[in-house]
Amino acid sequence: MSDRRVAVILFEGFELLDVFGPVELLHVTPGFTIDYYGPQRGPIASSQGGQVVAEHAYDELVDPDIILVPGGYGTRPLAEDAEFLKQLKTIGTAANLVTSVCTGSGLLAAAGLLDSYRATSNKLAFGWASSFGTDVEWVSTARWVHDRDRWTSSGVAAGMDMAAALIADLCGTDVAREATVFTELEVHSDSTWDPFAAIHGLA
């Protein structure tokens, strides 16, 4: 497999585990390079208060390969931010693969990047996320959904299961298993496993 570059789209109020759960698995898998992008270069505060340094600004992201859009409380204002959505649509349209964790799929939908796709999101915030997009087939019971060049996952920890499935799809199941064994992750490999949909009255 040729090297793959993953561009993480950071913003104020992103969810830390949405980013670093998948990043941990991708980082221990040979052939992946991770880059961090923000509205500008510099520290970006997460929902938890910890900051991550964006090495690049959104407008520096040229010819993206894989993008990862996390969720978090910061998604709420951004879903109504026309300038951000315009930038995200430009980036996502150019990317080879578009992935999201949790309410990151709400941002993708608001930017028009999930129209004609199947997708899922955090089950606690499913009503909010699924209110965006004009032609999205929202799947209420799913740990993650893979539809062609789009990967969307349920809430927070589900992003790690999605990342493991993505690695298996791109690199093979043996490589994905090496990553999950290294991180001691008991991964859910069934994308339809979703007890949280019932907990939140979606199933």
121-180 per-position pLDDT tens digit: 999 999 999 999 999 999 999 999 999 999 999 999 999 999 999 999 999 999 999 999
- Domain CATH code at residue 159: 3.40.50.880
Q: Residue 124: inside a domain, yes or no?
A: yes
Residue 169, helix vs strand vs coil: helix
The CA distance from 122 to 73, in Å, is 12
| Counted domains in the chain | 1
1 pLDDT band, cuts 50/70/90, is low
In this predicted structure, what is the pLDDT of residue 2?
67
Q: Residue 108: inside a domain, yes or no?
A: yes
Residue 130, helix vs strand vs coil: coil
In this predicted structure, what is the pLDDT of residue 168?
98
Q: Residue 202: inside a domain, yes or no?
A: no
Q: Residue 83: inside a domain, yes or no?
A: yes
Q: Residue 92: inside a domain, yes or no?
A: yes
Q: Residue 203: inside a domain, yes or no?
A: no
The pTM is what? 0.97
Sign of CA dihedral 61, 104, 109, 82: negative
The CA distance from 169 to 20, in Å, is 20
Q: Residue 84: inside a domain, yes or no?
A: yes
Summarised one tens digit per residue, pLDDT across range 68-94 is: 999 999 999 999 999 999 999 999 999
- For residue 192, the enclosing domain spans 4-197
